[in-house]
Amino acid sequence: MGNLMDSWRYKEPSTVEECDSTWETDSESDEPQPGEEDSGISESNSPTDSGKCAEQLVSPQQFDDSQESTAKMKRSFYAAKDLYKYRHNYPNYKEPRQSTEYRNLRFYLNKIPLVPDGIYIEEILNKWRGDYEKLEHNHTYIQWLFPLREQGLNFYAQELTQVEIKVGFKEFQSSREAKRRFLLAYAVMLDFFGITLLDKNGNVTKASNWQDRFQHLNESQHNYLRITRILKSLGELGFESFKPPLVRLLLEEALVEGTLPNMLHSALEYFVYTLRDRAQRRALLRFAQQHYQPPENFVWGPPRRKRAGGPGVTRGTAAAKPGVAQEKSAAKTRSAKEDSGKSPASPEKEGVQGEAAEEDSQEALNVRKREEHSAGGDGKAAKSQNGATKQPQEGKGEGKNHADRKEYVDTTPL
């Protein structure tokens, strides 16, 4: 009855933000990095829809080509929800009714074989190490070596239970043989991936044959599911501190060295979020953000903060769609430009305008004189009201063509 009441009280998260508490206590600056857009979970959403980043996108019409690619980047809600349940110890988990008899613990104590192959763990640790073909193509052993409170591909494998974790694995932690075998199993799988376990603190480095193994790992993406399972199991069995060194190495190889480019998305969506400590997740994501290209597509950083100018307005939203205040500002700018065209001209402009007016006046005078000349008849000069013929004035227009003179008069004798 208690489990039933717990399941009623549990509310399934419906957005990526509800699943991810990584940045809840973050104290980074609100200002974006130079040349970068906000790198929040809701990369291109409005304030009211910022939580629905796994399902909704802003219309591409609001962005240019470079921003449109950013709008298409989004977090996986399936991945976020899966890792949320893991980090919160499977809040809606239902214990199986049948007795488990601590089968996972007994397997590590070498008392029962894995099913269906009938192989004991000592045989796997001693004979399978370095047999990469067997480790690659056999899909029944991984669920036994790294048990979880989840059902894997091998339905014969026993899921972990809360009883096993609380009671049975206290014996696991106190048993030197069980812990030794678990660490050996971890080392076998790391060697399969091209990685070497350095010490009992979980530090790792690339193996001597890392080039061949990384090439295989980059091309066999189903092994990313195995890595996720291994990371989860490390946390379930008391080796949470082993996760950060492995995830950091994989991120560095995927982002910086470029040896595992196909793994990058899985590392950011799954591997990082198996860590239960928020500070450790933030440290890994900050490292990834420094090297991620293009930087504006990094959607695993802190969510957008609200502008100081008004509630509910984010940097991305303001850039994508101007508001009323922006429209008023643009109108004022246009009005100022129009008014500036009507303002008094400077002395230099007045001089230019005066010269232009003088040329226009002179041109009008020439046209009027030509009209008066043509009114006198063919080749005849125009006369004044008293009948006298107008004579050319001396000193004006000398050394110039008639058309170039300021006063043009026909001098042909009558």
Give the Cβ contact number of residue 179 at 10 Å.
Answer: 17
Residue 376 and residue 393 in contact, taking contact as beta carbons nearer than 8 Å: no
> If residue 206 lies in a helix (H) or strand (E), which one and from where to where?
strand 204-206
**pLDDT tens digits, the chain, 414 residues: what are they?**
445 444 456 688 999 999 999 998 754 443 334 333 333 333 333 333 333 333 333 333 333 444 444 446 789 999 999 999 999 988 877 766 555 678 888 999 999 999 999 999 999 999 999 999 999 999 999 999 999 998 877 778 888 887 777 776 677 777 889 999 999 999 999 999 999 999 999 999 999 999 999 999 999 999 999 999 999 999 999 999 999 999 999 999 999 999 999 999 999 999 999 999 999 999 999 999 999 999 999 999 987 665 444 444 444 444 444 444 445 555 555 555 555 554 444 444 444 444 444 555 555 555 555 555 544 444 444 444 444 444 444 444 444 444 444 444 444 443
* One-letter identity of residue 118: G
Q: How many alpha carbons fall within 13 Å on the CB side of residue 352? A: 5
pLDDT value of position 160: 85
Residue 157 and residue 150 in contact, taking contact as beta carbons nearer than 8 Å: no
Residue 229 and residue 148 in contact, taking contact as beta carbons nearer than 8 Å: yes
pLDDT value of position 67: 45
The DSSP-derived string for 22-83 is TTTT----SSPPTT-----SSTT--GGGTT-TTT----GGGS-HHHHHHHH----HHHHHHH
pLDDT value of position 338: 52
pLDDT value of position 168: 63
pLDDT value of position 335: 55
Domain boundaries, the chain: 1-94+292-305, 99-196+212-239
In angstroms, the CA 270 to CA 231 distance is 10
Identify the DSSP state of 268: I
